[in-house]
């Protein structure tokens, strides 16, 4: 596997294990499980981030809820077919995990950071909030080995949003930021709604790469 391709998608999160393991799928006899990690923001609110992890990396029969963990890996996407359409499902794919005694052991280290090197695959959506804050939504395609790609939603603010709004489809960009979770209400019918969680990258820096 090409190290160059691994380098284009790097994420580190540190936080508290918030759920037990749930079986996801198996590849060539290797089982993969999902769990959730609570990662604190500077504002003291929390992001609840899903992690995909191999049974070869961790003992999935154990209950680690409440323990503090560091996960390094990649932010990945796959399409799940539901309600007659595909839904983009995102999670941190763990390559390395380690435990620390408490969140105090994380001092001085960014508890949530991501670097992406990819290509704009949809025209940016630029808008202003009712309070006049500028926002731009990007969808970034990040190449993976064997011809696959991950599709990562990214959100830019202020000056970055203005800059990103001019990007054309196919533009090559580098992004630094953090993974965040956001709850929203999905309207299922005239009478039914459902609370869901979306995941995206909140962008702190971005650069357009000249080809």
Banded pLDDT at 106 (limits 50, 70, 90) = low
- CB-based contact 150:76 (threshold 8 Å): yes
Residue ending a domain, choose from 43, 74, 109:
109
- pLDDT digit string, tens, across residues 64-104: 999 999 999 999 998 877 666 777 889 999 999 999 887 66
Tokens coding 41: 């923001």
On whether both 40 and 75 belong to a single domain, the answer is yes
Rounded to two decimals, what is the model's pTM?
0.89
Please indicate, yes or no, whether residues 163 and 75 belong to a single structural domain of this protein.
no
Q: Are residues 98 and 128 in the same domain?
A: no
Q: Does residue 134 sit in the same domain as residue 158?
A: yes
User: Do 11 and 76 form a contact (C-beta atoms < 8 A)?
Assistant: no
Q: Which domain holds residue 200?
A: 113-208
Report pLDDT digits (tens) over 38-74: 999 888 889 999 999 999 999 999 999 999 999 999 9
Q: Is the pLDDT of residue 1 over 50?
A: no
Rounded distance between C-alpha atoms, residue 75 and residue 176, angstroms = 13
Domain count, the chain: 2
Kindly state whether residues 152 and 202 are assigned to the same domain. yes
The DSSP bridge pattern shows strands 134-143 and 112-120 to be antiparallel
69 plus 105 within the same structural domain: yes
Out of 69, 84, 109, pick the residue that ends a domain: 109
Average pLDDT over residues 122-138: 94
- Give the CATH number of the domain where residue 12 resides: 2.40.50.140
pLDDT at res. 108: 54
């Amino acid at each position: 596997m090409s190290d160059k391709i691994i380098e284009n998608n790097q994420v580190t999160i540190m936080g508290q294990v918030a759920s037990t393991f749930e079986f996801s799928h198996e590849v060539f006899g290797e089982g993969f499980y999902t769990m959730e990690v609570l990662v604190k923001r500077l504002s003291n609110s929390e992001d609840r981030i899903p992690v995909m992890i191999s049974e070869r990396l961790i003992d999935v029969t154990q209950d680690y809820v409440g323990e503090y963990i560091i996960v390094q890996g990649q932010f990945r996407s796959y399409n799940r077919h539901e309600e007659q359409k595909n839904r983009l499902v995102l999670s941190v794919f763990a390559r390395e995990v380690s435990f620390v005694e408490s969140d105090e052991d994380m001092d001085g280290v960014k508890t949530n950071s991501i670097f992406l090197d990819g290509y704009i695959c949809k025209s940016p959506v630029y808008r202003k909030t009712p309070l006049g804050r500028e926002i731009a939504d990007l969808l970034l395609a990040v190449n993976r080995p064997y011809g696959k790609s991950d599709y990562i939603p990214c959100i830019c603010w202020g000056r970055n949003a203005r800059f990103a709004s001019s990007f054309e489809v196919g533009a090559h960009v580098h992004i630094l930021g953090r993974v965040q979770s956001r709850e929203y209400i999905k309207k299922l019918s005239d009478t039914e709604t459902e609370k869901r969680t979306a995941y995206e990258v909140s962008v702190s820096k971005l650069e357009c790469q000249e080809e």
